[in-house]
Chains A and B, each alone.
Chain A
Amino acid sequence: MTLLRVSQLRAGYGRGDVLQGIDLAVEPNTTVSIIGPNGAGKTTLLRAISGTLRPTGGSIEFDGASILRRSATDIVTRGISQVPQGRHLFGGLTVRENLLLGGHSVRRTTDLEKRIEELTAAFPVVGERLDALAHTLSGGQQQMVAIARGLMPEPKLLLLDEPSVGLAPTIIDDVAALIARLKEAGRTVLLSEQNVPLALSLADRVYVIAQGKVVASGTPAEISAMDDVRRAYLGLAAGGAA
């Protein structure tokens, strides 16, 4: 059964909708990438799914139930965990405390300490700096911690909002490797990215969003051959101006 189905979704901030009717589906155990130019609505879409932003129209179904009007707190308990753009770690708290907070929604039913051990075993970088204050970590380390934090509640769906932004290319490679491992472990991931090669290399399915609508979707190979994508990014079409 499709894990996440988004239909004709509209959402925006105040006057005017940024999303003009998005259709998207995420199957379990797959990684879906959303790419598109800035301002197209990638972050808006993820925020609408995680409940941070209230959509103005359309529907979102997760695991068979509608989550359209639910609060962020509620959606977290249902199994969607978001790693926000720019990481947003609690800088004045230690890495361990950040991880604990990641597990806040499941703290009564899960042994959080054990969870932290599992994650630090999988991501040694995180384990090395458990008692350091989060703001002292480098960008790449923070991104790792943010993803680990997102994994604490064992979510059914992990939302990653532009994990590569602001990171140096070599660090991006490390982050990409981490995400690849998540894939191999069978996680379902919805990933928005400005870095197209990264997005294409990790995805099982790709959606291209521009001006608030899905303009193309398909496998990475199909997408990389499409003219529309080139045009959306570089303003060049095969012949003629806009």
Chain B
Amino acid sequence: MSLFAQELVNGIVQGAVYVLVAIGLSLVFGVLKIVNFAHGEFYVVGGFVAYFVTHTLAWPYWLSVVLALVAGIVVGGIAERLAIRPLRGAPEESVFLSTFGLSLVLLYGVKLLIGGRPRPVSSSFGHTFRLGGIAITSQQVFVLAVTVVLVAALFVTLQRSYLGVVLRAVAQDRSTGALMGIRVELVYWGAFAVAAGLAATAGAAVAPMYSINPYSGQDILITAFIVVIVAGLGSLQGAVAVGLGLGILEAMAAGYLPTGARQWVSYVLVVIVLLLRPQGIFPERATSRAVVA
């Protein structure tokens, strides 16, 4: 029983990371209607910032996470200008291909900056709590806290603020939005940058748990894609549910099934869902509400 509870905790933490990355991907798809193959690389950028700030600048770890968020937004904003905006109106494969190129630029850019070996990141969260046989580190608590704060902030903005109304409107019907006087280009830019910021924060938040590895972006990207597709394109609440769910499923597989089974979980899941229910588990929200219910 305690194995179950332990894996549950681990799974929720891992799931939180998936949520942070997947939500950005879903936001970009919902608002800009594009698939961003480079999204995982913002996660790597975040990890890199964490490393750079703590290791080279010797500043506190929590600050590096905040700076990762900022860096993600900045890098995302630049990327949108250079690789996405020039392709406005082009067929969707073109944008997809451009984001391929972008992912390579970011991946190898970071790799050149930190060298080939994975780099460790030290944080001040070293304590381990024990609650009834379950171990949970303060780092894990930190990850959860960061996720809750950011996701809550995103949802509150989308649901309660005028900015959220504008975002949701552009996601549903950009040309009518333009008719109302909304500066659609600005909205696109902002949405893309925020999504990148979320992914970067995720990368920084988990950096002390795993070392910084430039190739980790591709893995997390595929997982994020799977989460978004299984949830239903454009459904943010679905992405939260599926992200957590996948984290838990994988943890259970690691705990109870033979080694190596864990890696299969997400692929098997997406194949099953695409064959049986291709619109995703929570599509109704996706189609009628475009970004968030």
**A positions within 8 Å CB-CB of B:** 50, 52, 71-73, 76-77, 82, 84, 88, 90-93, 97, 100-102, 104-105, 107, 135, 149, 153
Contacts and interface: CB of A to CB of B under 8 A. Distances in A.
A82 B178 CA distance: 11
**Which secondary structure characterizes the binding site on chain B?**
helix
Contacts of A107: 162
B263 interface: no
Interface in B126-158: none
A73 B290 contact: no
Interface residues of B, number: 19
Contacts of B290: 92
A84 B178 CA distance: 12
B122 interface: no
A37 to B, nearest CB: 25
Nearest to A134: B172
Contacts of B162: 100, 107
A101 B166 contact: yes
Contact of A101 (B175, B182, B183): B182
Interface string B182-216: 11000000000000000000000000000000000
A91 B179 CA distance: 16
A82 B180 CA distance: 8
Given A52-B175, A104-B166, A92 B180 contact: no
Contacts, number: 60
Interface in B247-293: 288-290
B233 to A, nearest CB: 15
Contacts of A104: 166, 180-182
10 contacts: A73-B178, A88-B176, A90-B172, A92-B172, A92-B290, A97-B169, A100-B165, A101-B182, A104-B166, A104-B182
Contacts of B169: 90, 93, 97, 101
B39 interface: no
Given A92-B290, A101-B169, A104-B166, A73 B176 contact: no
B120 interface: no
Contact of B165 (A76, A84, A97): A97
A101 B289 CA distance: 16
A52 B180 CA distance: 11
Best-buried of B178, B179, B290 by chain A (most CB within 10 Å): B179
Contact of A84 (B172, B176, B181): B176
B165 A105 contact: no
B181 A93 contact: no
Given A71-B178, A73-B183, 17 more contacts: A72-B181, A76-B180, A76-B181, A77-B181, A82-B179, A84-B179, A88-B173, A90-B176, A92-B168, A92-B289, A92-B290, A97-B168, A101-B165, A101-B166, A101-B169, A107-B162, A153-B181
Best-buried of A92, A93, A105, A153 by chain B (most CB within 10 Å): A92
Contacts of B181: 72-73, 76-77, 104-105, 153
A71 B181 CA distance: 9
A93 B168 contact: yes
A72 B178 contact: yes
A134 B175 CA distance: 17
Nearest to A153: B181
A135 B165 contact: no
Nearest to A73: B181
A73 B173 contact: no
Contact of B288 (A72, A101, A135, A153): A135
A22 B18 CA distance: 57
Best-buried of A73, A82, A135, A153 by chain B (most CB within 10 Å): A73
A104 B165 CA distance: 11
- The 4 lowest CB-CB distance pairs between A and B, nearest first, are A105-B181, A92-B289, A76-B181, A88-B176
Nearest to A71: B178
Contacts of A91: 172, 288
A90 B165 CA distance: 10
A92 B288 contact: yes
A73 B162 CA distance: 18
A135 B179 CA distance: 19
A61 B26 CA distance: 43
Contacts of B166: 101, 104
Contacts of A52: 175, 178-179
A97 to B, nearest CB: 5
A188 B235 CA distance: 42
A88 B162 CA distance: 19
